[in-house]
Amino acid sequence: MASQISIAAGRSQRREGSKFVDALPEKGTLELRSEDGEYTHFTWKNRVTGQVEDELLVFPGEATFEKVDQDPSGRTHILKFSSSDQKYFFWIQKSDQQVIIRAQVDIDNLIRDPTYRIGSAPLPVPSTPQRPAQERSWPPTPGAPRLSHPEPAPRNAASASTPSAPPVAGSSNDGVMDVEQIPAQESAGGSGQDQMARLLAEWARGGGIAPADDDARLTDVLSPIQMSTLLTTHPSLIPTITPLLPSGLDLPPNPSAQDLLPILSAPQFTDAIASLDNALRSGGLPGNMMRELGLPDNAGQSVKGFLEGLIGLKKDDQPEGGDERMDED
């Protein structure tokens, strides 16, 4: 008897020459049909045009269908052939994590074994969400997903529709990047899908499968020009900076911005800023270090978090944006 799976899914595309994966917005359906228990017919159909745009024959043991762990939403999956380097990315257009996990398990089992009976394999045992203390994540494992949410993701979101189901492993996989925890939606389809695609695209822009970070480099943010502007518009800063500088620099008693700038723009300073950038990009700094700066703990976990924390330090409460007025403090 032929087994069949059908699930709403879009395609994702790997960008040429990079590890980025962009979710494409088109609505589609993944359809799998086992043929006489010998192989699996794997197709992706565009739901709008009804056209079958991808068609693959998968022989047992030839490929796997796995969740891409780097995607915080848990939706992106990869069809990977072991016999060649072919890879196909799909993102499941369902919001219920249970449904997504069920689909992944079934698809993976079916392509490994065309005689597989849909729904017969157990779902993976959800692992206890592992949340090392902030401080213990230092030194971090390079490339390990960083936790941007200190408290566990709410369980009810995923398990609400099936109260008897155990908590879902997928829901613990939050926040590799800055993408918000995806709110659970009642059903697939609707405007939620578009938003999902946008979020995924954003995630991919932020680095996708390659753990990447903000485009901005700290050395460009705190460039010599920027420091010069900062010190000349806020001369009151100078007495707070001066005592932090190493002794033996031969500074006059009440140094001016002109005295400090050659020091602050020396290559050693740029190197120090670059090393901070590097430390943030390669896994982060302890939260208590950030707290001392008045930044949230997660500012220590990526350049992006750090920069956003800085922007949040702005003293008056005016929204950041086109407003270029400087505040007087």
Partner 1 sequence: MEDPSGWSLTESDPQVFTQLLKDLGVKGLQVDDLYSLDESTLSTLKPIHALIFLFKYVESSAGGAEESSGIEVDPLDNGVWFANQVINNSCGTVAALNAVMNIPSQSSQYSEESIQLGEELGNLREFGTGMESLDLGHLVSSSPHIREVHNSFSKSSPFSMDSSAFPEREKEDAYHFIAYLPINGILYELDGLRKNPIMHAPIEGEDWLNTARETVESRIGTYPPGSLMFNLLAIRSTPLPRLTRLLNDPSTPSEQKFQIQDQLEHESNKDKRGQMENTLRRNNLLPVVFQLFKALGESGQAGKAVEVARAKGEERREKRAAKGEGDD
Q: Which residues bind partner 1 (CB under 8 A)?
A: 17-20, 207, 210-212, 214-218, 220-223, 226-227, 229-230, 233-234, 237, 240-241, 244-246, 248-250, 262-264, 266-269, 271-276, 278-279, 281-282, 293-294, 306-307, 309-316, 318, 320-321, 324-327, 329
Helix (H) or strand (E) holding 269, with range, is helix 267-281
Q: Is the CB of 9 or the CB of 21 nearer to partner 1?
A: 21
CA distances for 130 relative to 4, 135, 270, 294, 303, angstroms: 35, 14, 37, 27, 24
Helix, strand or coil, per DSSP, at residue 91:
strand
Of the pair 48, 315, the CB lying nearest partner 1 is at: 315
Q: How far is the CB of 320 from partner 1 (least distance, A)?
A: 4
Closest C-alpha among 44, 140, 34 to residue 90: 44
**What is the smallest separation between the CB atom of 70 and partner 1, expressed in angstroms?**
12
**Does the bond joining 239 to the residue before it have cis omega, within 30 degrees of 0?**
no
Q: Which is nearer to partner 1, 161 or 282 (CB)?
A: 282
192-195: which pairs have CB atoms within 8 A and are 24 or more residues apart? 192/95, 193/27, 193/93, 194/25
Query: 92 or 222: whose CB is closer to partner 1?
Result: 222
Residue 206 CB, shortest distance to partner 1, in Å, is: 11
CB of 286 to partner 1, least distance (A): 12
Could you tell me which of 95, 97, 116 has the C-alpha nearest to residue 107? 116
* Shortest Å, Cβ 87 to partner 1: 15
Cα–Cα separations (whole angstroms), residue 251 to 225, 232, 268: 21, 18, 17
Residue nearer to partner 1 on the CB measure, 160 or 310: 310
Q: The tokens of 125 are what?
A: 């045992």
Give every CB contact of residue 291 below 8 A, 6+ residues apart in sequence. 297
**Smallest distance, Å, CB 101 to partner 1?**
28
For the CB of residue 194, give the shortest distance to partner 1 in the complex, in Å.
Answer: 25
User: What is the C-alpha separation between 199 and 301, in angstroms, rounded?
Assistant: 20
Residue 10: closest CA among 62, 54, 40: 54
Torsion sign over Cα 175, 181, 186, 192:
negative
Nearer to partner 1, 169 or 222 (CB): 222
Q: Give the span between the Cα atoms of 57 and 88, in whole angstroms.
A: 13
State the minimum distance, in angstroms, from the CB of residue 149 to partner 1. 22
In angstroms, give the least distance from the CB of 232 to partner 1: 11
Residues 6+ apart with CB under 8 A from 52: 43, 44, 45, 46
Cβ-based nearer residue to partner 1, 122 or 319? 319
**By C-beta, is 46 or 282 nearer to partner 1?**
282
Between residues 161 and 242, which has the closer beta carbon with respect to partner 1? 242
Nearest by Cα to 188 from 98, 107, 117, 110: 98
